[in-house]
Amino acid sequence: MRTADFCAFTRKLAQQIAMGTAPGRDMLCAAVITPLNKAKGGIRPIAVGDLFFRLCGKLVLAAARTDKALLPVQLGVGSRGGCEPLTRLGERIVSGEITHFSTFTFLDARNAYGIMCRRRIATAVKDFCPDLYRAAKWKYNEPSQLFVIGNDGVEIIQSSQGLHQGCPFSALFFSAAARPFLVDLQKELGEGALVTGYIDDIPIFSQEPGTLKKVIDFMEAARADGIDYGIQLNEGKCVEKTVDEVRTEGLEMLGTMLGGTEARRTFLTTKIDQQQKILSNLQLLLGQDAYLLLRLCTQHNLRHLLRILPSEDLQELWARHDFNLRQQLQIIRGINQFEGRHDQDLFALPLTLGGFGVPRFQDIQPHARGAMTEATDEMIEVRFGIGVDGFRVIRVEEEDPDGGEQRADEAAPAKRLTSQSRRCHKMYEVKQEQLIETLPLIQVAAVLEHGSRLGCAWAFAIPFDKKHTLSERDMQACFRMRSLVATATTCAKCTQPTQHGHDDVCRHRLQRRTLRHDFIKNQVGQALGRVPGTTMIIEPPVKCEGKDRRTDLRVSGPGAPGGGVVDYDLTFISMGAASMLKRTIGAKAMKKQQEDGKRAAAEWCIREELGSAARAKDKIYKKWVPSAFTPLVWSLGGYEHAEVTRTMEHWAVIIPSFSHILQVASISLLR
């Protein structure tokens, strides 16, 4: 997808969509309907559109000028933090920090995307985001086909009303169409209320009860006057509660719970119980599939609550959820589930720091809350005009001298915020250092290996073919190595004491050295051979002191740095080798450890071991190879020699499938 031809195609199609002239509209605007069950009953139809349209639609949105399209109080489209400013505002009202409001009203719109009139959408897009008018006309001016796939075949439905929930334009277009309703409703309720919007959810904060009745009366009066805002309220789901009622009973709002400890405890317990049922189903899958789903999907299901749910007093529930996640990793590691000495630390560390990438929620919670409150408290004051000392209604209908509407945040000074990612990264670095201080040097080297580029590439491979698939035994061995768990104190093959990396050097075990080396060599050679203008020779002959030898690859053209001719020889060495074990307990390593710490000492040991292997290759080939010669040396855990790093940086630019090469090489090293 990074090729010049594909980028040119995508750019051209995005330009045509923006101009409303893109060909193949019937195909690009068609969608497959996916029915999803709602949490409280009913079906939510999601229209999953064409991949190219969704990709290009996002590009069109990114390029269009939409900063004046919505009100300052409308969130969810291009606003930082999503719904967090609204939930944080509610939280501060309940806690008594903000005393200007005494009532919460939450409006629920019935089938909001589906019943919004396209004529109203067209008017709103023309008025508030005219840059997208042609794209909107191209997409929604004519009916499009929706495919319902069932057991009885395929049924085609013509879509001529509302918006598609899978369309990249839908959230913006709906919010723009709802804007006049929010403006008129704010005028009706007056300065004693604040009307906000999160796409199709409308929270209202007011100073006195009775807001819901006023809203219903306002809607009925509008209908009587022939005004159609395109929004129908589901009165059975609309809620109004006073602050005191929220403190005692709780209020579920935008995916979180406002209220006292017991209400929040019940809410979070229910969520964790639901996740436990999902986690238990992972045991039905193969290890690689289970780990991919756990790391990339399942563990994220409750991550948003770390930010928007006040849970400082609910730490025991997060500890329970952390145990459930850790247990699933232990199940993948082997039949006998047990707690490894370093499980809590290694399971939680990111992959690039030698861990498993399944963080502990207890560790993240204070950093997530800190980042959220820092960002949203500023937005509440700037966007909503609410501070501890007072409240002012944002006058959205007034225009600035330049003719555009003045957004409340335009004049705000820029403030550098500390993101959750930056906060957590510092925390993980500290935790890794604390872990390293408890390990012997040989295991510190293993942790550093596991965090290398090749050391963690396997974790991103989708098992769609044999080259990308790890067997159950492979996964168990991988998890045991990565969590620094030894299978036994004595090797069953050679009866020698086992240390980390012993399996790679035990002469009595079946080894895959040649098979592994040749597979990676061929994969790299084939990838370089596909680079235009590159000539590739695998195993070219070299005369060395009268002996016939061969390097692994001879590359000429763009595939070689500088465009010349370079011979490469690939070598993979074990950090469990006797030379490495001897190096880690040597005087130089001990001195390095005392002066610079264990990490620096382990890195020095690895670099020296890799450098020794590289120098040995240089000694054999350099004066006999007719071209330039570069030894490429890795540890079996994936740590790179300096020459490898420089070469890989060049190859990453010219090989379109470079991530694929990394993944298959990483998997081959694990087997």
Residues 6+ apart with CB under 8 A from 441: 584, 585, 589, 593, 598, 601, 602, 605
pLDDT at 510: 58
pLDDT at 407: 44
Model pLDDT, residue 397 = 45
Confidence category of residue 410, pLDDT binned at 50, 70, 90: very low
Q: Report whether pLDDT(308) > 70.
A: yes
Q: What is the mean pLDDT of residues 416-442?
A: 92
Using a 10 angstrom Cβ sphere, with 0-12 exposed, 13-18 middle and 19 or more buried, the burial of residue 265 is middle
Instruction: Provide, rounded to the nearest whole percent, the portion of the chain with pLDDT above 90.
Output: 60
Dihedral Cα 72, 104, 229, 119, nearest 10 deg: 50
Query: Percent of the chain having pLDDT more than 70?
Result: 90
* Mean of pLDDT values over 187-197: 92
Mean pLDDT is lowest, of 130-139, 182-191, 473-482, 577-586, for 577-586
pLDDT at 402: 43
* 360 DSSP assignment: -
Q: Does residue 67 contact residue 183 with C-beta atoms inside 8 Å? A: no
Segment 530-569, tens digit of pLDDT: 888 999 999 988 877 667 788 899 999 998 887 789 999 9
pLDDT in tens, 336-351: 667 788 999 999 999 9
The CA–CA distances, whole Å, from 162 to 11, 148, 202, 216 equal 28, 18, 19, 23
> What pLDDT does residue 164 have?
86
Q: Could you read off the pLDDT of 147-157 as tens digits, one per residue?
A: 988 888 888 98
- Hey, what amino acid is at 404? G
496: pLDDT strictly greater than 90: no
Please compute, for residue 179, the number of CA atoms within 13 A of its CA located in the half-sphere on the CB side. Answer: 27
Confidence of residue 92 (pLDDT cuts 50, 70, 90): very high
Confidence band (pLDDT; 50, 70, 90) for 297? very high
pLDDT, tens digit, 9 for 90 and up, residues 565-586: 999 999 999 888 788 888 888 8
Instruction: Return the pLDDT at 80.
Output: 86
Confidence of residue 57 (pLDDT cuts 50, 70, 90): very high
Of residues 463, 445, 193, 480, the one with CA closest to residue 343: 480
Q: Using 50, 70 and 90 to split pLDDT, how confident is the model at 403?
A: very low
Mean pLDDT, all residues of the chain:
87
Alpha-carbon Rg for the chain, nearest whole angstrom, is: 30
Structure confidence at residue 495 as a pLDDT band (50, 70, 90): low
Res 337: pLDDT: 63
